[in-house]
Structure 1
């Protein structure tokens, strides 16, 4: 495995950036024989992995979120009036998406390896693309409900599957910035969606179709084109990717060995699922994610409407939302980079929420429209950092694979019920209920973050005492993330 071109060295003490974070010394009696990759060679490998995988992963998630959130763009373009939807029925259409979304997330995440990433992601992308195209031909509320339910069932598998795919490629301390790329796509989709809608709406009347219908048709066609890119671009086994040389494939095998405890067995295990379902970290994380998703789904879907409520026109709202979304995405990349470098997770979520609280207060208070618009930029900091960093916090602290797959699926399933809430609280301008509920959710999230941080610190302290012989080890589960040498990221 460690041929000379691979540029590895052996380190009996296992100290170094390639192994100390992910491979506890007690995992294997032969751990001392595991190579430690040369840092410069590993950096070049990471750059190559990012170059090939990240654009595809970002592209597919961008199209997914674009198709999902475009309902906010078509709302201000007259879609509800054209199909005879009342404000209450339209809010129901926004919320009903999450009825199937939350139900299908856990099974999709658990089945990802069995179905294989390539088949699962390509199949789901194909179906939701066609559903988006058909959305451009609906003529009543029942049709809108139907396409939203199908869209939710298909898109439910995407984020958990992509998130798990990242854990198959990257180490724990490399994941924050990569997960940030996914959430940045939600920001890009908001910005690009606004720009795209602004341009496509000018097609109003072409071939006898309203502009909002063309928004769905064109966005759906764009998503459909992405499906074959997924099939050919994301191999089921990243360590044997088509673009890797033999030396680089050997390096990937070394990285797999270094991440052995974090990844765990490839065999499906009901016991791992049961362990995960009893883990307090899962439910604390889900509660935090629920609060943060109130912002994510409310803000990303209704920002154009919020801007219109400030006195701007619907066309102005489409392009004014662009810098807000982009600013949120840039801030997320910065926070995620710092989080990965320091391996600090919870405090970064807490810190990012502070501008969001200030932003919502500015929007709610009797301030001028420019001040309210400035408040949306502050909100954007919390909107993307909160869900993304919190999910990374769960990712890096749950192992092995099926325990983590269960945790991600259940956390996302529980948290995404926030989408149902978001659709109900943002009904009528000036959206005092929606914005007030959002700032309240941020406050609750801050308290939950503190609680989870103290809980994880307590578990780390217990492990340290057990390792030092200061405490008797009476734990029933001592594998994966429960191993004494597995240090949780705070």
Structure 2
């Protein structure tokens, strides 16, 4: 057996009910706390209370974020490009450049979340992108549109990875897919709500001498500004000492923190965790899968009104026809995420959801009646929302401790969200054959990568079991966090 240095020597560990091990690096969290078993009914009540406060706030802020990002798809069919003199190529560039700053700022914002505190960082970013959205209603040139999209990207880049990281500060590994699903349900709701809101706001065309698409930006920006206030007053920096918990519930939160101490790790930033992340094979495969899935997410969520219009529906009808499509996508994700958490299985559900997307895009591409093509968009929605959400959860639960996970989420999201640049370029002209064909090809590649990652993680679990049994020599370079022998990866 390979010898270990004092740094690698394991500290006392305690088996948690999910099979992972708790390391107590925090002196305030004692070993007895980790060994304490919470009453299941009391813990369920605590989770209900946590969900009742955290989930609405998190969903609202992400809803406003995605609404302000994707409303460019709603105003496209309402005459915005013509009013500011934007050609199809320039409009596609405006969609794509959002992701230039989005990708660049994701990892820095994620690593700064604890230092700046979640409440301050998330509320401040929300204020800036809300004001930018309001000002987007007054742009008169392509340059103004470019500037607004760049600022939006820089601010919104910190939200999604930041919220995911915040969820890991509240919930255990086996509780996370359901909560991450709420974020992706918001992307679906933003599409449904955005389509309905755009349908209503576009009827304000001519009020105060402003075109309807300008009112879409102005009113949705004002809505987001109110959400920033909710985040500031409603989101606690330390979930374990949240203002809405009583003394007994705070004690239970400390016990839960002790039980997942290995998963969370130290509060002190350590560059070693970033370097370990950069050598993590499963993170890179996860990023590649997410890139493929995000091509669907950003192409579909931004251009669905245009795709439906290309089927022969009017621009106004296209706004409300998106609503049932988005709702189905959101509901399907809630269902699969619930089962995924119950079984602690991730990859197979991503692959399962992608099958619906492959069939859906094929129906849209083939010379089928418009009704069949529209039905295809419902199938696509299943893959559009389940794929990115479940894949991100798959990464969340398999990386530890905190700053290694923060780096992994930031890097994965930075690489994956560059797919938004691609999405803006492949959906240029109706009937969007290139965009839909590219999307189904991305799904096919994702299926292959999911299989590779599943086999790799299964091999890692098998290696740990053999090392524990003394069957093979321990040659691991990293022996902490998720590479602890008792940390079992979710397949």
Question: Into which bin does the TM-score normalised by the smaller protein fall?
Answer: over 0.9
Aligned residue number for residue 453 of structure 2? 452
The answer on whether the counterparts of 2:346 and 2:394 sit within 8 Å (CA) in structure 1 is yes
When normalised by structure 2's length, the TM-score is 0.95
Cα distance in 2 for residues equivalent to 1:25 and 1:239: 17
Aligned residue number for residue 213 of structure 1? 214
Aligned residue number for residue 5 of structure 1? none
The answer on whether the counterparts of 2:20 and 2:488 sit within 8 Å (CA) in structure 1 is no
Q: Give ranges in structure 1 of 5+ residues lacking alignment.
A: 1-12
Aligned residue number for residue 346 of structure 1? 347
| Secondary structure of the structure 1 residue equivalent to 2:214 | helix
Q: CA RMSD in A?
A: 1.4
Aligned residue number for residue 6 of structure 1? none
* Deviation per residue, 1:177-221 (Å, 9 max, x gap): 000000000000000000000000000000000000000000000
Shift in Å, 1:25: 6.4
Cα distance in 2 for residues equivalent to 1:472 and 1:119: 48
Change (3 A) 1:44 1:481: same
| Secondary structure of the structure 2 residue equivalent to 1:138 | coil
Aligned residue number for residue 276 of structure 1? 277
Q: Are 1:390 and 2:391 counterparts?
A: yes
Aligned residue number for residue 168 of structure 2? 167
Change (3 A) 1:444 1:59: same
| Secondary structure of the structure 2 residue equivalent to 1:430 | coil
| Secondary structure of the structure 1 residue equivalent to 2:37 | strand
Shift in Å, 1:23: 4.3
Aligned residue number for residue 469 of structure 1? 470
The answer on whether the counterparts of 1:110 and 1:406 sit within 8 Å (CA) in structure 2 is yes
* Deviation per residue, 1:83-103 (Å, 9 max, x gap): 000000000000000000000
| Secondary structure of the structure 2 residue equivalent to 1:82 | helix
Shift in Å, 1:21: 1.5
Shift in Å, 1:30: 3.7
Q: Are 1:230 and 2:231 counterparts?
A: yes
Aligned residue number for residue 182 of structure 1? 183
Cα distance in 1 for residues equivalent to 2:187 and 2:297: 9
Change (3 A) 1:472 1:309: same
Aligned residue number for residue 311 of structure 1? 312
Shift in Å, 1:34: 2.4
Q: Figure out how many residues of one structure are paired with residues of the other and give that number.
A: 476
The answer on whether the counterparts of 1:22 and 1:171 sit within 8 Å (CA) in structure 2 is no
Cα distance in 1 for residues equivalent to 2:398 and 2:250: 27
Cα distance in 1 for residues equivalent to 2:33 and 2:197: 55
Among 17, 21, 44, the residue aligned to 1:20: 17
Aligned residue number for residue 37 of structure 1? 38
Runs of 4 or more consecutive aligned structure 1 residues displaced over 4 Å after TM superposition: 25-29
Q: Are 1:87 and 2:84 counterparts?
A: no
Cα distance in 2 for residues equivalent to 1:471 and 1:335: 37
| Secondary structure of the structure 2 residue equivalent to 1:407 | helix
Q: Greater CA deviation, 381-390 or 23-32?
A: 23-32
* Deviation per residue, 1:383-410 (Å, 9 max, x gap): 0000000000000000000000000000
Change (3 A) 1:33 1:193: closer
Alignment of 1:280-429 (within 5 A): 280-429=281-430
When normalised by structure 1's length, the TM-score is 0.96
The answer on whether the counterparts of 1:173 and 1:341 sit within 8 Å (CA) in structure 2 is yes
Aligned residue number for residue 112 of structure 1? 113
Aligned residue number for residue 154 of structure 1? 155
Cα distance in 1 for residues equivalent to 2:17 and 2:429: 53
Cα distance in 1 for residues equivalent to 2:96 and 2:244: 42
The answer on whether the counterparts of 1:23 and 1:260 sit within 8 Å (CA) in structure 2 is no
Cα distance in 1 for residues equivalent to 2:32 and 2:466: 23
Q: Greater CA deviation, 466-475 or 368-377?
A: 466-475
| Secondary structure of the structure 2 residue equivalent to 1:108 | helix
The answer on whether the counterparts of 1:22 and 1:261 sit within 8 Å (CA) in structure 2 is no
* Deviation per residue, 1:421-458 (Å, 9 max, x gap): 00000000000000000000000000000000000000
Shift in Å, 1:20: 2.0
Aligned residue number for residue 240 of structure 1? 241
Q: Greater CA deviation, 77-86 or 27-36?
A: 27-36
Cα distance in 2 for residues equivalent to 1:234 and 1:217: 26
Shift in Å, 1:460: 0.3
